[in-house]
Chains A and B, each alone.
Chain A
Amino acid sequence: MTETLTANGFKLDTGGKRVVVDPICRIEGHLRIEVNLDSDNVIRNAVSTGTMWRGLEVILKGRDPRDAWAFVERICGVCTGVHALTSVRAVEDALGIKIPENANHIRNLMMLAQYTQDHLVHFYHLHALDWVDVVSALSADPKATSALQQSISSWSKSSPGYFRDVQARLKRFVESGQLGPFANAYWGSPAYKLPAEANLMAVTHYLEALDFQREIVKIHTVFGGRNPHPNWVVGGMPCSFSLNETGGINMEWLNLVSSIIDRSIEFIDKVYIPDLKAIASFYPEWTTYGGGLSSTNLLSYGDFPKVANDWSQENMHMPGGAIINGDLSKVHEVDVRDPEQVQEFVTHSWYKYPDESKGLHPWDGMTEPNFELGPNTKGSKTDIQEIDENAKYSFVKAPRWRGHAMEVGPLARYVVAYVRGDEEIKAQVDGLLSDLGLPLTALFSTLGRTAARGLECSWAAHKMRFVFDSMMANLKAGDTATSNMDLWEPKTWPKDVKGVGMVEAPRGSLGHWVHIKDTKIASYQAIVPTTWNASPRDAAGNIGAYEAALLGTPMANPEQPLEILRTVHSFDPCLACATHVIAPDGQELVSVKVR
């Protein structure tokens, strides 16, 4: 036996079969997972590797801090707005710039719209297919599908004829031999448990959701002026209101936003949430697998300030904090400026520090690549067959809060807000658990993560309504300011300042740390949500969130690693910004190797 106990209390066994899944994200992203299985095909060791290097820090050096948002918006294809907002917040923090109330409302609306769209697309486009068998939907009875739909929701698109049409469309598509978005899956695996009509219902909603996202993005277009890469500005938002005129954002546009908010709420509450419950009810075992760090260590910075420029947790629509060692009686305050709190380690990451037994706070951070493999690696640098996790094994750094590996994302936010006693979050969580007849501990699981994301999608849509109404009240009271340009000119800036911007991105806690010297960027470091979750081991041997979550899960068939995909997808991984630069042989479809 090759059993060890990690510093954060997980038992690892590196014996048995080794399974390699590479890469694991369905969209842009380069994550590799290796696991060891025991003789019952239960995962006993997990290794998470980011296979590309990110050099963001290098390209921003020497640039105008007011331009940084436009660059960081390009580091990830999926999280554009969140990086831009984090960047302008970091620069505003450094320079002491206060933004107007309207700018805060608009930023909240932009981020809430992003949550709504991102969670919806993640669930239907990326994650639902881990649970829903598309090919089985072809054999569903449209009448039974209609009956099922009507039994779980009052959504209007529910007639047998409607489902028959969708099924016919799907059949034509599959028969044309172009499975497209549905290629590269494990259809027919015994791990799929839904009856055919539930599969057809979910696939139909997959199409409806993809179509519906076109509505949500209009919110970004109205306030950001441009999509898919909206405009941002240090000091506020680069748009203006003219309620009674045709130029600028007028009542016609605001009414459009208002109606999109209403339709988003309806779609999420009548389609997404009922689907989530229906699917979850067929996979009860997944409320016990995949928990990992979620029952012990969770982190959320908190976000969506009710009033502009007040960063206290009491002022947050989504209050944050840290939970450690599974103590649900206490939420710890998080100070991201404190050099002892947030640190990144590279002991097991392909970077170089002068002393790798210690972590560095991002203001002192370094990003110097050092790609070297351990002595027990199988394969070569361009063709790694089996990684040696006792050495360096990932381009993702290992961020820690007071030395603890932490999970971030919707589940972390929900548990933190729940423990803080937030009434809306508590009502949502308690309602869902009672509908499904599950205990609170069911949250600490793969499906718990997936459920928290769904609840948060609904929360975000309803919160858009609240924020929109607050903004309208402010506008009607005569305040139409959207930006504060008092400190726009570099000559007004201090010579040497540091700042930090934080955003709770859809995937989790995101921070940018900037150092501005002589009006230029002297250094820039980002810790993105997937860096927390996909983290490798650290100097003390703590394993990361993905690694912990995969332990203990039995696999039905190691050649079809659906179980690994389910848990990793439940985190909504986005490696595009966690690590970067093209892999030597370009992107392949998922390859699975069992040894």
Chain B
Amino acid sequence: MEQEGEIDGETDTLILGIGNVLWADEGFGVRCVETLNARFDFATNVRLMDGGTQGMFLLPWVSSVSRLLIFDAIDFGLAPGELRIMRDDEVPQYMGAKKMSMHQTGFQEVLMSARLLNDRTQQLALIGVQPELLDDYGGSLREVVRQRIPDAIQHACAVLRDWGVGFREREEPLATLDLVGPGELDIVSYELGRPR
């Protein structure tokens, strides 16, 4: 069994999806990481993580890597489904804005705390989508947001190439053990069981 949560190993790159899959477009970040994981095989220095809404409890992972790529649903007041990519210093500025997402304050604090703990800079990228709908508890991604997942993945690949992170298209389908989240919550089973 792979101990995928090991922290001190050789992992130096974290690809993190944050948000709550139970709240419609809030699930964008997690669904992006799932999609990325299903399509690509990454070098052993890369960890893909479904971070949920864990806030400060993500600090151990966030503070232990030198490269951090985040997917999230973010409120920039753009048209629903519009993507925004930010790098390095651009990220905290937006993170500090008044409304960004449910766990805005939480994740901003995580980044700040990581900076305070490490006293060094990280390479940082944020791929965010403007949600159409959040308060559909138990709902899934809206079409306009779901359609942007492939674009978000392309942007992520560009960032990762830029950082020199190794990955390639999977030849074998993803094994259950390598899923980033529990199979019970994958988007297909999630949607099949939706209350009607």
What is the CB-to-nearest-CB distance from B12 to chain A, in angstroms, rounded to a whole number? 15
Partner of B102, one of A211, A217, A587: A587
Cβ-defined contact, A210 with B113, below 8 A: yes
Partner of A581, one of B61, B64, B137: B137
Partner of B138, one of A55, A211, A585, A586: A55
Known: A58-B195, A70-B184. A582 touches B113 (CB 8 A): no
Residue of B nearest to A227 (CB): B5
Cβ-defined contact, A217 with B60, below 8 A: yes
B175 interfacial contact with A, CB 8 Å:
no
Contact with A along B76-119 (1 / 0, CB 8 A): 00000000000000001000001110111110110111011101
Contact with B along A144-159 (1 / 0, CB 8 A): 0000000000000000
Cβ-defined contact, B23 with A63, below 8 A: no
Question: Which residues of chain B come closer than 8 Å to A211, judged between CB atoms?
Answer: 63, 117
Q: Which of A576-594 contact B (CB under 8 A)?
A: 576, 580-582, 585-589
Partner of A181, one of B92, B109, B135, B137: B109
Residue of B nearest to A222 (CB): B3
Residue of A nearest to B4 (CB): A226
Cβ-defined contact, B6 with A218, below 8 A: yes
Q: Which of B14-70 contact A (CB under 8 A)?
A: 20-23, 49-61, 63-64
Partner of A207, one of B4, B56, B116: B116
Partner of A180, one of B22, B23, B53, B116: B116
Cβ-defined contact, A28 with B102, below 8 A: yes
Partner of B99, one of A214, A222, A240, A586: A586
Residue of A nearest to B179 (CB): A226
A488 interfacial contact with B, CB 8 Å:
no
Cβ-defined contact, A78 with B22, below 8 A: no
- Sort chain A's interface into a size bin: 35 or more
Cβ-defined contact, B137 with A58, below 8 A: yes
Question: Which residues of chain B come closer than 8 Å to A41, judged between CB atoms?
Answer: none
Residue of A nearest to B60 (CB): A214
Q: Which of B165-196 contact A (CB under 8 A)?
A: 181-182, 184-185, 189, 193-195
Cβ-defined contact, B7 with A218, below 8 A: yes
Cβ-defined contact, B56 with A121, below 8 A: yes
What is the CB-to-nearest-CB distance from A53 to chain B, in angstroms, rounded to a whole number? 8
Cβ-defined contact, B105 with A121, below 8 A: no
Residue of B nearest to A229 (CB): B52
Cβ-defined contact, A228 with B52, below 8 A: yes
A71 interfacial contact with B, CB 8 Å:
yes
Known: A210-B113, A221-B6. A586 touches B98 (CB 8 A): yes
Compute how far the CA of A221 lies from the CA of B1 in the bound complex, rounded to whole angstroms.
12
Compute how far the CA of A227 lies from the CA of B111 in the bound complex, rounded to whole angstroms.
19
Cβ-defined contact, B137 with A226, below 8 A: no
Residue of B nearest to A584 (CB): B135
Which of A27, A62, A170, A240 has the most chain B CB within a 10 Å cutoff?
A27
Partner of B22, one of A75, A117, A210: A75
Known: A27-B106, A77-B55. A218 touches B5 (CB 8 A): yes
Known: A178-B92, A180-B115, A248-B1. A74 touches B56 (CB 8 A): no
What is the CB-to-nearest-CB distance from A63 to chain B, in angstroms, rounded to a whole number? 5
Which of B6, B57, B134 has the most chain A CB within a 10 Å cutoff?
B57
Partner of A121, one of B57, B75, B100, B184: B57
B residues with a Cβ closer than 8 A to A are 1, 3-7, 20-23, 49-61, 63-64, 75, 92, 98-100, 102-106, 108-109, 111-113, 115-117, 119, 134-135, 137-138, 181-182, 184-185, 189, 193-195
The 9 closest A-B pairs by CB, nearest first: A180-B112, A586-B99, A77-B53, A221-B5, A59-B138, A214-B60, A70-B184, A227-B5, A55-B137
Given contacts A27-B55, A580-B137, 11 further A-B contacts (CB under 8 A): A28-B102, A70-B185, A71-B184, A78-B55, A170-B116, A181-B112, A207-B117, A210-B56, A217-B5, A240-B1, A576-B53
